[in-house]
Amino acid sequence: MPDPPRVTSDAPEIARPTTTFGRALSWSYLLSGGRVVVNLVVSLVLAALLGPEAYGLVAIALVYVFFVEMVVRQGLVAAIVQRPNLTNLHLDAAFWMTLAAMVVLIPITLVLSPWWAAVNGLPDLQAVVVGLSPLLIMKGLSVVPEALMRRQMEFRLLAIRANAAVLLGGAVGVGSAFAGAGYWALVAQQLAAAAVEVALLWVVSDWRPHPRFSRSAARELLGFSGHSALAGFGVFLYQRADALLIGLFFGPIAVGLYRMALRFTEMVLELTTGAMMTTSLSELSRYQENPHAFRDRALSIIRLGTTITVPMLGVLAVCSEPLMRLIGPEWAAAAGPMKLLCALGVTLAFATYTGPLLQAMGRPGVLAATTWVAGLLSAASFIIPGLLLQGTGTQEQVLGIAGSRLLTFTAMTVLILFPLWRKTIGLSVRDVLKSVVPVLAATTLGASVAWLISTTSPFTGGNAWMSAIVVAALAVVVIGGTAVLFEPLARRPFTVLWPTVFKPKSTGRHRRGRATGPVHTPGVTSGGP
Protein backbone atom coordinates (compact mmCIF):
# COMPACT_ATOMS: atom_id res chain seq x y z
CA MET A 1 0.00 0.00 0.00
CA PRO A 2 1.70 3.27 -1.06
CA ASP A 3 1.95 6.03 1.48
CA PRO A 4 -0.24 9.09 1.07
CA PRO A 5 1.44 12.34 -0.01
CA ARG A 6 3.79 13.59 2.72
CA VAL A 7 3.47 17.07 4.17
CA THR A 8 7.03 17.95 5.19
CA SER A 9 7.28 21.68 5.84
CA ASP A 10 5.36 24.83 6.61
CA ALA A 11 6.57 27.20 3.91
CA PRO A 12 5.70 25.29 0.73
CA GLU A 13 2.08 25.09 -0.24
CA ILE A 14 0.48 21.65 -0.26
CA ALA A 15 -0.03 21.00 -3.95
CA ARG A 16 -3.21 19.92 -5.63
CA PRO A 17 -3.33 16.21 -6.53
CA THR A 18 -2.42 14.86 -9.94
CA THR A 19 -4.88 11.96 -9.59
CA THR A 20 -7.51 12.02 -12.35
CA PHE A 21 -11.15 12.51 -11.49
CA GLY A 22 -12.08 9.17 -13.05
CA ARG A 23 -9.58 7.25 -10.92
CA ALA A 24 -10.59 9.07 -7.76
CA LEU A 25 -14.26 8.50 -8.55
CA SER A 26 -13.68 4.77 -9.01
CA TRP A 27 -12.17 4.50 -5.54
CA SER A 28 -14.92 6.68 -4.12
CA TYR A 29 -17.51 4.28 -5.54
CA LEU A 30 -15.58 1.38 -4.04
CA LEU A 31 -15.56 3.23 -0.70
CA SER A 32 -19.32 3.78 -0.85
CA GLY A 33 -20.16 0.46 -2.46
CA GLY A 34 -18.45 -1.74 0.09
CA ARG A 35 -19.87 0.27 2.95
CA VAL A 36 -23.39 0.17 1.52
CA VAL A 37 -23.33 -3.59 0.91
CA VAL A 38 -22.11 -4.34 4.43
CA ASN A 39 -24.53 -1.80 5.93
CA LEU A 40 -27.38 -3.38 4.00
CA VAL A 41 -26.67 -6.86 5.37
CA VAL A 42 -26.09 -5.57 8.91
CA SER A 43 -29.22 -3.43 8.82
CA LEU A 44 -31.38 -6.33 7.67
CA VAL A 45 -30.07 -8.61 10.42
CA LEU A 46 -30.26 -6.02 13.21
CA ALA A 47 -33.71 -4.82 12.14
CA ALA A 48 -35.03 -8.37 12.18
CA LEU A 49 -33.53 -9.02 15.62
CA LEU A 50 -34.26 -5.72 17.38
CA GLY A 51 -37.42 -4.22 15.86
CA PRO A 52 -38.44 -0.58 15.19
CA GLU A 53 -38.46 0.66 18.81
CA ALA A 54 -34.78 -0.10 19.47
CA TYR A 55 -33.81 1.52 16.16
CA GLY A 56 -35.84 4.59 17.02
CA LEU A 57 -34.33 4.93 20.50
CA VAL A 58 -30.72 4.89 19.25
CA ALA A 59 -31.59 7.19 16.33
CA ILE A 60 -32.90 9.78 18.79
CA ALA A 61 -29.73 9.44 20.90
CA LEU A 62 -27.51 9.90 17.85
CA VAL A 63 -29.10 13.22 16.95
CA TYR A 64 -26.77 15.17 19.23
CA VAL A 65 -23.63 13.33 18.10
CA PHE A 66 -24.46 13.86 14.44
CA PHE A 67 -25.21 17.52 15.12
CA VAL A 68 -21.79 18.19 16.64
CA GLU A 69 -19.92 16.15 14.05
CA MET A 70 -21.73 17.74 11.11
CA VAL A 71 -21.17 21.31 12.25
CA VAL A 72 -17.45 20.79 12.87
CA ARG A 73 -16.75 18.67 9.79
CA GLN A 74 -18.88 20.80 7.48
CA GLY A 75 -16.61 23.76 8.19
CA LEU A 76 -13.06 22.50 8.50
CA VAL A 77 -13.10 19.63 6.00
CA ALA A 78 -14.41 21.89 3.25
CA ALA A 79 -11.92 24.64 4.19
CA ILE A 80 -8.95 22.24 3.97
CA VAL A 81 -10.08 20.66 0.69
CA GLN A 82 -11.00 23.93 -1.04
CA ARG A 83 -8.23 26.25 0.19
CA PRO A 84 -5.85 27.17 -2.67
CA ASN A 85 -2.86 27.90 -0.36
CA LEU A 86 -2.59 25.28 2.37
CA THR A 87 0.36 24.70 4.74
CA ASN A 88 1.11 22.66 7.83
CA LEU A 89 0.24 25.65 10.00
CA HIS A 90 -3.35 25.48 8.73
CA LEU A 91 -3.54 21.74 9.44
CA ASP A 92 -2.16 22.11 12.98
CA ALA A 93 -4.58 24.93 13.75
CA ALA A 94 -7.52 22.91 12.43
CA PHE A 95 -6.54 19.85 14.47
CA TRP A 96 -6.25 21.66 17.81
CA MET A 97 -9.43 23.65 17.25
CA THR A 98 -11.37 20.47 16.47
CA LEU A 99 -9.97 18.54 19.42
CA ALA A 100 -10.64 21.40 21.85
CA ALA A 101 -14.24 21.69 20.65
CA MET A 102 -14.86 17.99 21.14
CA VAL A 103 -13.28 17.91 24.62
CA VAL A 104 -15.50 20.79 25.72
CA LEU A 105 -18.64 19.24 24.25
CA ILE A 106 -18.38 15.86 26.03
CA PRO A 107 -19.14 17.27 29.54
CA ILE A 108 -21.99 19.28 28.02
CA THR A 109 -23.35 16.05 26.55
CA LEU A 110 -23.25 14.31 29.92
CA VAL A 111 -24.97 17.20 31.67
CA LEU A 112 -27.74 17.52 29.09
CA SER A 113 -28.48 13.81 28.71
CA PRO A 114 -31.08 13.61 31.56
CA TRP A 115 -32.94 16.60 30.10
CA TRP A 116 -32.88 15.04 26.62
CA ALA A 117 -34.35 11.80 28.01
CA ALA A 118 -37.07 13.68 29.91
CA VAL A 119 -38.08 15.76 26.85
CA ASN A 120 -38.58 12.60 24.81
CA GLY A 121 -40.22 10.66 27.66
CA LEU A 122 -37.68 7.83 27.28
CA PRO A 123 -35.79 6.98 30.51
CA ASP A 124 -33.36 4.66 28.69
CA LEU A 125 -32.28 7.50 26.41
CA GLN A 126 -29.94 9.05 29.02
CA ALA A 127 -27.78 5.94 29.29
CA VAL A 128 -27.63 5.57 25.49
CA VAL A 129 -26.51 9.20 25.02
CA VAL A 130 -23.79 8.77 27.65
CA GLY A 131 -22.68 5.51 26.03
CA LEU A 132 -22.36 7.20 22.63
CA SER A 133 -20.45 10.25 23.91
CA PRO A 134 -16.94 8.81 23.14
CA LEU A 135 -17.90 9.13 19.46
CA LEU A 136 -17.25 12.86 19.74
CA ILE A 137 -13.53 12.43 20.46
CA MET A 138 -13.11 9.72 17.84
CA LYS A 139 -14.86 11.79 15.18
CA GLY A 140 -12.81 14.86 16.11
CA LEU A 141 -9.51 12.99 15.75
CA SER A 142 -10.48 12.00 12.21
CA VAL A 143 -11.31 15.41 10.76
CA VAL A 144 -7.91 16.79 9.64
CA PRO A 145 -6.18 13.64 8.32
CA GLU A 146 -9.34 12.63 6.46
CA ALA A 147 -9.73 16.11 4.96
CA LEU A 148 -6.11 16.06 3.81
CA MET A 149 -6.61 12.69 2.13
CA ARG A 150 -9.74 13.99 0.40
CA ARG A 151 -7.83 17.02 -0.82
CA GLN A 152 -5.13 14.73 -2.24
CA MET A 153 -7.84 12.43 -3.67
CA GLU A 154 -6.44 9.42 -1.81
CA PHE A 155 -9.76 7.63 -1.97
CA ARG A 156 -8.19 4.18 -2.17
CA LEU A 157 -6.91 4.50 1.39
CA LEU A 158 -10.21 5.99 2.54
CA ALA A 159 -12.07 3.11 0.91
CA ILE A 160 -9.99 0.50 2.75
CA ARG A 161 -10.42 2.31 6.04
CA ALA A 162 -14.17 2.88 5.72
CA ASN A 163 -15.01 -0.63 4.56
CA ALA A 164 -12.94 -2.24 7.31
CA ALA A 165 -14.67 -0.07 9.92
CA VAL A 166 -18.16 -0.89 8.66
CA LEU A 167 -17.37 -4.60 8.48
CA LEU A 168 -15.91 -4.86 11.98
CA GLY A 169 -18.51 -2.55 13.49
CA GLY A 170 -21.27 -4.58 11.88
CA ALA A 171 -19.78 -7.80 13.23
CA VAL A 172 -19.74 -6.35 16.75
CA GLY A 173 -23.32 -5.12 16.42
CA VAL A 174 -24.71 -8.37 15.06
CA GLY A 175 -22.79 -10.44 17.61
CA SER A 176 -24.11 -8.25 20.44
CA ALA A 177 -27.66 -8.54 19.13
CA PHE A 178 -27.48 -12.33 18.99
CA ALA A 179 -26.12 -12.26 22.57
CA GLY A 180 -29.27 -10.45 23.69
CA ALA A 181 -27.84 -6.95 24.17
CA GLY A 182 -30.94 -5.27 22.73
CA TYR A 183 -30.48 -1.65 21.69
CA TRP A 184 -26.96 -1.70 23.19
CA ALA A 185 -26.00 -3.75 20.14
CA LEU A 186 -26.53 -0.62 18.03
CA VAL A 187 -24.43 1.44 20.45
CA ALA A 188 -21.64 -1.14 20.29
CA GLN A 189 -21.80 -1.09 16.49
CA GLN A 190 -21.36 2.69 16.37
CA LEU A 191 -18.45 2.73 18.84
CA ALA A 192 -16.60 -0.18 17.24
CA ALA A 193 -16.89 1.28 13.72
CA ALA A 194 -15.67 4.71 14.86
CA ALA A 195 -12.73 3.20 16.77
CA VAL A 196 -11.60 1.19 13.75
CA GLU A 197 -11.99 4.22 11.48
CA VAL A 198 -9.85 6.53 13.57
CA ALA A 199 -7.19 3.88 14.24
CA LEU A 200 -6.77 2.94 10.58
CA LEU A 201 -6.85 6.57 9.50
CA TRP A 202 -3.86 7.45 11.69
CA VAL A 203 -2.02 4.29 10.60
CA VAL A 204 -2.22 5.13 6.89
CA SER A 205 -1.87 8.90 7.24
CA ASP A 206 1.66 10.31 7.13
CA TRP A 207 0.61 13.64 8.64
CA ARG A 208 1.12 14.30 12.34
CA PRO A 209 0.12 17.39 14.36
CA HIS A 210 2.73 19.66 15.92
CA PRO A 211 2.39 21.27 19.39
CA ARG A 212 1.78 24.77 18.03
CA PHE A 213 -1.11 26.99 17.12
CA SER A 214 -1.02 29.78 14.55
CA ARG A 215 -3.71 32.38 15.11
CA SER A 216 -3.30 33.76 11.60
CA ALA A 217 -3.71 30.30 10.07
CA ALA A 218 -6.76 29.69 12.26
CA ARG A 219 -8.30 32.99 11.16
CA GLU A 220 -7.73 32.12 7.51
CA LEU A 221 -9.48 28.78 7.94
CA LEU A 222 -12.31 30.22 10.01
CA GLY A 223 -12.96 32.86 7.37
CA PHE A 224 -14.16 30.04 5.11
CA SER A 225 -15.15 27.39 7.62
CA GLY A 226 -17.25 29.77 9.73
CA HIS A 227 -19.75 30.11 6.89
CA SER A 228 -19.55 26.39 6.17
CA ALA A 229 -20.09 25.56 9.85
CA LEU A 230 -23.12 27.83 9.81
CA ALA A 231 -24.29 25.86 6.79
CA GLY A 232 -23.77 22.74 8.90
CA PHE A 233 -26.64 23.79 11.15
CA GLY A 234 -28.93 23.90 8.13
CA VAL A 235 -27.59 20.55 6.90
CA PHE A 236 -28.35 19.06 10.29
CA LEU A 237 -31.91 20.39 10.25
CA TYR A 238 -32.81 18.75 6.95
CA GLN A 239 -30.75 15.58 7.37
CA ARG A 240 -31.04 14.65 11.05
CA ALA A 241 -33.90 16.60 12.61
CA ASP A 242 -36.24 13.76 11.64
CA ALA A 243 -35.38 11.66 14.68
CA LEU A 244 -35.67 14.72 16.93
CA LEU A 245 -39.08 15.93 15.71
CA ILE A 246 -40.71 12.57 14.93
CA GLY A 247 -39.65 11.34 18.36
CA LEU A 248 -41.21 14.35 20.06
CA PHE A 249 -44.50 14.01 18.14
CA PHE A 250 -44.95 10.26 17.66
CA GLY A 251 -42.41 8.30 19.72
CA PRO A 252 -39.59 5.81 18.98
CA ILE A 253 -41.59 3.28 16.90
CA ALA A 254 -42.48 5.92 14.28
CA VAL A 255 -38.85 7.08 14.35
CA GLY A 256 -37.65 3.52 13.77
CA LEU A 257 -40.01 2.93 10.82
CA TYR A 258 -39.19 6.25 9.19
CA ARG A 259 -35.44 5.93 9.73
CA MET A 260 -35.42 2.40 8.32
CA ALA A 261 -37.28 3.52 5.18
CA LEU A 262 -34.95 6.49 4.86
CA ARG A 263 -31.88 4.37 5.59
CA PHE A 264 -32.30 2.33 2.43
CA THR A 265 -32.82 5.48 0.38
CA GLU A 266 -29.72 7.01 1.96
CA MET A 267 -27.73 3.88 1.11
CA VAL A 268 -28.54 4.34 -2.56
CA LEU A 269 -27.68 8.03 -2.40
CA GLU A 270 -24.45 7.28 -0.54
CA LEU A 271 -23.47 4.72 -3.15
CA THR A 272 -24.22 7.02 -6.09
CA THR A 273 -24.52 10.73 -5.37
CA GLY A 274 -22.44 10.49 -2.21
CA ALA A 275 -19.49 9.00 -4.07
CA MET A 276 -19.81 11.70 -6.72
CA MET A 277 -19.95 14.48 -4.13
CA THR A 278 -16.91 13.10 -2.30
CA THR A 279 -14.71 13.65 -5.34
CA SER A 280 -16.52 16.57 -6.99
CA LEU A 281 -15.35 19.21 -4.49
CA SER A 282 -11.70 18.38 -5.14
CA GLU A 283 -12.32 18.13 -8.89
CA LEU A 284 -14.34 21.34 -9.25
CA SER A 285 -11.89 23.30 -7.08
CA ARG A 286 -9.38 22.88 -9.91
CA TYR A 287 -11.61 24.97 -12.19
CA GLN A 288 -12.57 27.75 -9.80
CA GLU A 289 -10.59 30.33 -11.85
CA ASN A 290 -12.28 29.33 -15.15
CA PRO A 291 -16.08 29.85 -14.96
CA HIS A 292 -16.82 28.35 -18.38
CA ALA A 293 -14.86 25.16 -17.69
CA PHE A 294 -16.36 25.03 -14.18
CA ARG A 295 -19.91 25.14 -15.57
CA ASP A 296 -19.25 22.45 -18.17
CA ARG A 297 -17.56 20.19 -15.63
CA ALA A 298 -20.37 20.68 -13.12
CA LEU A 299 -23.00 19.78 -15.72
CA SER A 300 -21.16 16.61 -16.72
CA ILE A 301 -20.87 15.54 -13.07
CA ILE A 302 -24.57 16.18 -12.42
CA ARG A 303 -25.58 14.25 -15.53
CA LEU A 304 -23.38 11.27 -14.70
CA GLY A 305 -24.55 11.22 -11.08
CA THR A 306 -28.21 11.38 -12.10
CA THR A 307 -27.80 8.60 -14.65
CA ILE A 308 -26.44 6.34 -11.94
CA THR A 309 -28.66 7.44 -9.04
CA VAL A 310 -32.19 7.67 -10.44
CA PRO A 311 -32.51 4.10 -11.83
CA MET A 312 -31.24 2.64 -8.56
CA LEU A 313 -33.85 4.62 -6.63
CA GLY A 314 -36.48 3.26 -9.03
CA VAL A 315 -35.35 -0.29 -8.33
CA LEU A 316 -35.54 0.33 -4.57
CA ALA A 317 -39.06 1.76 -4.85
CA VAL A 318 -40.28 -1.32 -6.72
CA CYS A 319 -38.62 -3.63 -4.16
CA SER A 320 -39.85 -1.78 -1.05
CA GLU A 321 -42.73 -4.10 -0.11
CA PRO A 322 -40.94 -7.46 -0.47
CA LEU A 323 -37.88 -5.98 1.22
CA MET A 324 -39.81 -4.89 4.31
CA ARG A 325 -41.69 -8.19 4.36
CA LEU A 326 -38.33 -9.94 4.32
CA ILE A 327 -37.19 -8.10 7.47
CA GLY A 328 -40.31 -8.90 9.43
CA PRO A 329 -44.04 -8.10 9.76
CA GLU A 330 -43.42 -5.29 12.26
CA TRP A 331 -41.59 -3.38 9.49
CA ALA A 332 -44.36 -3.64 6.86
CA ALA A 333 -45.60 -0.11 7.63
CA ALA A 334 -42.31 1.28 6.25
CA ALA A 335 -42.91 0.06 2.68
CA GLY A 336 -45.25 2.87 1.59
CA PRO A 337 -43.08 5.66 3.04
CA MET A 338 -40.04 4.11 1.33
CA LYS A 339 -41.64 4.63 -2.11
CA LEU A 340 -42.20 8.31 -1.34
CA LEU A 341 -38.68 8.66 0.05
CA CYS A 342 -37.23 7.17 -3.15
CA ALA A 343 -38.97 9.95 -5.06
CA LEU A 344 -37.56 12.39 -2.50
CA GLY A 345 -34.14 10.88 -3.16
CA VAL A 346 -34.37 11.99 -6.80
CA THR A 347 -34.89 15.56 -5.62
CA LEU A 348 -32.07 15.30 -3.09
CA ALA A 349 -29.80 13.91 -5.81
CA PHE A 350 -29.98 17.38 -7.37
CA ALA A 351 -30.03 19.39 -4.16
CA THR A 352 -26.92 17.82 -2.64
CA TYR A 353 -24.71 19.07 -5.50
CA THR A 354 -25.30 22.62 -4.27
CA GLY A 355 -22.74 22.16 -1.47
CA PRO A 356 -19.73 21.13 -3.61
CA LEU A 357 -20.65 23.66 -6.34
CA LEU A 358 -20.76 26.65 -3.99
CA GLN A 359 -17.80 25.52 -1.86
CA ALA A 360 -15.62 24.97 -4.92
CA MET A 361 -16.54 28.47 -6.13
CA GLY A 362 -15.57 29.91 -2.76
CA ARG A 363 -19.14 30.94 -1.87
CA PRO A 364 -19.64 29.47 1.62
CA GLY A 365 -21.85 32.38 2.71
CA VAL A 366 -24.35 31.64 -0.06
CA LEU A 367 -24.23 27.96 0.89
CA ALA A 368 -24.91 28.80 4.54
CA ALA A 369 -27.97 30.86 3.63
CA THR A 370 -29.24 28.15 1.28
CA THR A 371 -28.84 25.33 3.77
CA TRP A 372 -30.58 27.35 6.47
CA VAL A 373 -33.55 27.84 4.17
CA ALA A 374 -33.50 24.10 3.42
CA GLY A 375 -33.19 23.30 7.13
CA LEU A 376 -36.13 25.47 8.12
CA LEU A 377 -38.28 24.02 5.34
CA SER A 378 -37.24 20.55 6.46
CA ALA A 379 -38.25 21.27 10.03
CA ALA A 380 -41.61 22.56 8.78
CA SER A 381 -42.10 19.36 6.76
CA PHE A 382 -41.96 17.43 10.06
CA ILE A 383 -43.81 19.87 12.30
CA ILE A 384 -46.89 20.33 10.06
CA PRO A 385 -47.75 16.60 9.74
CA GLY A 386 -46.71 16.17 13.37
CA LEU A 387 -49.44 18.59 14.41
CA LEU A 388 -52.05 17.40 11.90
CA LEU A 389 -51.64 13.64 12.38
CA GLN A 390 -51.89 13.39 16.16
CA GLY A 391 -54.08 10.44 17.10
CA THR A 392 -53.76 8.64 13.75
CA GLY A 393 -52.07 5.27 13.21
CA THR A 394 -48.29 4.92 13.02
CA GLN A 395 -48.35 4.02 9.32
CA GLU A 396 -50.42 7.11 8.47
CA GLN A 397 -48.06 9.28 10.50
CA VAL A 398 -44.95 8.01 8.72
CA LEU A 399 -46.64 8.24 5.30
CA GLY A 400 -47.70 11.80 6.03
CA ILE A 401 -44.17 12.83 6.98
CA ALA A 402 -42.64 11.22 3.88
CA GLY A 403 -45.22 12.90 1.61
CA SER A 404 -44.72 16.26 3.27
CA ARG A 405 -40.95 16.10 2.75
CA LEU A 406 -41.33 15.09 -0.88
CA LEU A 407 -43.57 18.08 -1.66
CA THR A 408 -41.40 20.48 0.33
CA PHE A 409 -38.07 19.59 -1.26
CA THR A 410 -39.43 19.32 -4.79
CA ALA A 411 -40.76 22.86 -4.48
CA MET A 412 -37.48 24.07 -2.98
CA THR A 413 -35.39 22.54 -5.77
CA VAL A 414 -37.51 24.09 -8.52
CA LEU A 415 -38.10 27.50 -6.92
CA ILE A 416 -34.82 28.10 -5.08
CA LEU A 417 -31.94 25.82 -6.06
CA PHE A 418 -32.25 25.90 -9.85
CA PRO A 419 -32.37 29.74 -9.93
CA LEU A 420 -29.43 29.81 -7.49
CA TRP A 421 -27.34 27.60 -9.81
CA ARG A 422 -28.09 29.90 -12.72
CA LYS A 423 -27.13 33.02 -10.81
CA THR A 424 -23.94 31.75 -9.15
CA ILE A 425 -22.38 29.49 -11.79
CA GLY A 426 -24.42 30.19 -14.93
CA LEU A 427 -25.98 26.71 -15.04
CA SER A 428 -29.41 27.18 -16.60
CA VAL A 429 -32.49 25.12 -15.80
CA ARG A 430 -32.76 24.24 -19.48
CA ASP A 431 -29.24 22.79 -19.53
CA VAL A 432 -29.87 20.75 -16.39
CA LEU A 433 -33.25 19.41 -17.50
CA LYS A 434 -31.98 18.60 -20.98
CA SER A 435 -29.28 16.41 -19.46
CA VAL A 436 -31.46 14.58 -16.91
CA VAL A 437 -34.94 14.26 -18.49
CA PRO A 438 -34.05 11.09 -20.48
CA VAL A 439 -33.05 9.09 -17.39
CA LEU A 440 -36.00 10.46 -15.37
CA ALA A 441 -38.44 9.41 -18.09
CA ALA A 442 -36.76 6.01 -18.49
CA THR A 443 -36.87 5.28 -14.75
CA THR A 444 -40.50 6.36 -14.40
CA LEU A 445 -41.56 4.13 -17.29
CA GLY A 446 -39.41 1.19 -16.19
CA ALA A 447 -40.51 1.36 -12.55
CA SER A 448 -44.19 1.52 -13.55
CA VAL A 449 -43.88 -1.52 -15.81
CA ALA A 450 -41.86 -3.48 -13.22
CA TRP A 451 -44.37 -2.67 -10.46
CA LEU A 452 -47.35 -3.75 -12.60
CA ILE A 453 -45.67 -7.03 -13.48
CA SER A 454 -44.64 -7.69 -9.87
CA THR A 455 -48.17 -7.14 -8.54
CA THR A 456 -49.65 -9.66 -10.99
CA SER A 457 -46.88 -12.26 -11.02
CA PRO A 458 -47.58 -15.55 -9.20
CA PHE A 459 -43.91 -15.67 -8.10
CA THR A 460 -44.05 -12.56 -5.89
CA GLY A 461 -46.61 -13.44 -3.26
CA GLY A 462 -45.17 -16.51 -1.55
CA ASN A 463 -41.86 -17.01 0.20
CA ALA A 464 -40.35 -13.68 1.33
CA TRP A 465 -36.87 -14.47 0.04
CA MET A 466 -38.12 -15.72 -3.33
CA SER A 467 -40.42 -12.72 -3.70
CA ALA A 468 -37.64 -10.23 -2.93
CA ILE A 469 -35.21 -11.88 -5.37
CA VAL A 470 -37.75 -12.10 -8.21
CA VAL A 471 -38.94 -8.50 -7.80
CA ALA A 472 -35.38 -7.17 -7.54
CA ALA A 473 -34.27 -9.03 -10.67
CA LEU A 474 -37.35 -7.87 -12.55
CA ALA A 475 -36.83 -4.23 -11.51
CA VAL A 476 -33.15 -4.26 -12.45
CA VAL A 477 -33.81 -5.73 -15.91
CA VAL A 478 -36.78 -3.53 -16.80
CA ILE A 479 -35.49 -0.24 -15.37
CA GLY A 480 -31.95 -0.87 -16.57
CA GLY A 481 -33.23 -1.72 -20.04
CA THR A 482 -35.30 1.45 -20.35
CA ALA A 483 -32.39 3.54 -19.07
CA VAL A 484 -30.11 2.11 -21.76
CA LEU A 485 -32.75 2.87 -24.41
CA PHE A 486 -33.43 6.46 -23.31
CA GLU A 487 -30.07 7.72 -21.99
CA PRO A 488 -26.95 7.54 -24.23
CA LEU A 489 -24.69 7.89 -21.21
CA ALA A 490 -26.13 4.66 -19.76
CA ARG A 491 -24.96 2.87 -22.92
CA ARG A 492 -21.36 3.94 -22.45
CA PRO A 493 -20.23 0.79 -20.57
CA PHE A 494 -21.65 -1.34 -23.40
CA THR A 495 -19.95 0.74 -26.11
CA VAL A 496 -16.67 0.28 -24.28
CA LEU A 497 -17.08 -3.45 -23.61
CA TRP A 498 -18.60 -4.47 -26.94
CA PRO A 499 -15.47 -4.16 -29.12
CA THR A 500 -13.43 -5.77 -26.32
CA VAL A 501 -15.65 -8.82 -25.79
CA PHE A 502 -16.71 -9.26 -29.39
CA LYS A 503 -13.47 -8.62 -31.27
CA PRO A 504 -13.86 -8.47 -35.07
CA LYS A 505 -12.07 -11.12 -37.01
CA SER A 506 -8.79 -10.05 -38.58
CA THR A 507 -9.01 -9.27 -42.29
CA GLY A 508 -5.33 -10.00 -42.78
CA ARG A 509 -4.65 -6.53 -44.12
CA HIS A 510 -2.38 -5.58 -41.20
CA ARG A 511 0.92 -7.24 -40.56
CA ARG A 512 1.46 -8.88 -37.19
CA GLY A 513 3.08 -6.67 -34.60
CA ARG A 514 2.35 -3.38 -36.37
CA ALA A 515 0.35 -0.82 -34.51
CA THR A 516 -2.82 0.17 -36.33
CA GLY A 517 -3.33 3.40 -34.43
CA PRO A 518 -5.10 4.31 -31.23
CA VAL A 519 -8.57 3.04 -30.53
CA HIS A 520 -11.01 5.92 -30.00
CA THR A 521 -14.25 5.37 -28.15
CA PRO A 522 -16.73 8.18 -28.77
CA GLY A 523 -17.65 10.07 -25.62
CA VAL A 524 -14.90 8.53 -23.46
CA THR A 525 -12.14 10.87 -22.38
CA SER A 526 -9.23 10.37 -20.06
CA GLY A 527 -9.63 11.55 -16.52
CA GLY A 528 -13.33 12.21 -16.44
CA PRO A 529 -16.79 10.67 -16.54
Please say if the pLDDT value at position 185 is more than 90: yes
Q: How many domains does the chain have?
A: 1
pLDDT of residue 204: 84
Of residues 360 and 180, more confidently modeled: 180
DSSP assignment of 330-366: GGGGGHHHHHHHHHHHHHHHHHTTHHHHHHHTT-HHH
Mean pLDDT confidence for 441-447: 88
Q: Indicate whether 416 belongs to any domain.
A: yes
pLDDT of residue 9: 43
Please say if the pLDDT value at position 157 is more than 80: no
3-state secondary structure 454-519: HHHCCCCCCCHHHHHHHHHHHHHHHHHHHHHHHCHHHHHHHHHHHHHHCCCCCCCCCCCCCCCCCC
Report whether 350 contacts 417 (CB < 8 A). yes
- Could you give the C-alpha distances from 276 to 142, 160, 526, 528, in angstroms and in order? 21, 18, 17, 12
**pLDDT tens, 101-146?**
888 888 888 888 888 888 888 888 889 989 998 888 888 888 888 8
The CA distance from 238 to 260, in Å, is 17
Please say if the pLDDT value at position 337 is more than 50: yes
**Structural domain boundaries enclosing 272:** 21-496
Please say if the pLDDT value at position 190 is more than 50: yes
pLDDT of residue 31: 61
Which amino acid does the sequence have at 379?
A
Q: Which of 368, 349, 350 is CA-nearest to residue 359?
A: 368
CB atoms within 10 A of CB 415: 10
Q: Indicate whether 10 belongs to any domain.
A: no
Q: Indicate whether 257 belongs to any domain.
A: yes
**pLDDT tens, 64-106?**
777 767 766 666 777 777 777 888 888 898 899 888 888 888 8
Q: Indicate whether 283 belongs to any domain.
A: yes
Q: Which of 357, 386, 96 is CA-nearest to residue 212?
A: 96
Which amino acid does the sequence have at 322?
P
Q: Indicate whether 512 belongs to any domain.
A: no
pLDDT of residue 529: 46
- Cα within 13 Å of Cα(301), Cβ side: 30
- Could you give the C-alpha distances from 523 to 286, 495, 496, in angstroms and in order? 22, 10, 10
Q: Indicate whether 300 belongs to any domain.
A: yes
Which amino acid does the sequence have at 413?
T
Q: Indicate whether 523 belongs to any domain.
A: no
Q: Indicate whether 142 belongs to any domain.
A: yes
**pLDDT tens, 210-265?**
898 888 888 877 766 555 556 666 666 666 677 778 888 888 899 889 988 888 88
Query: Range with the lowest mean pLDDT among 125-129, 158-162, 164-168?
Result: 158-162
The CA distance from 36 to 266, in Å, is 9
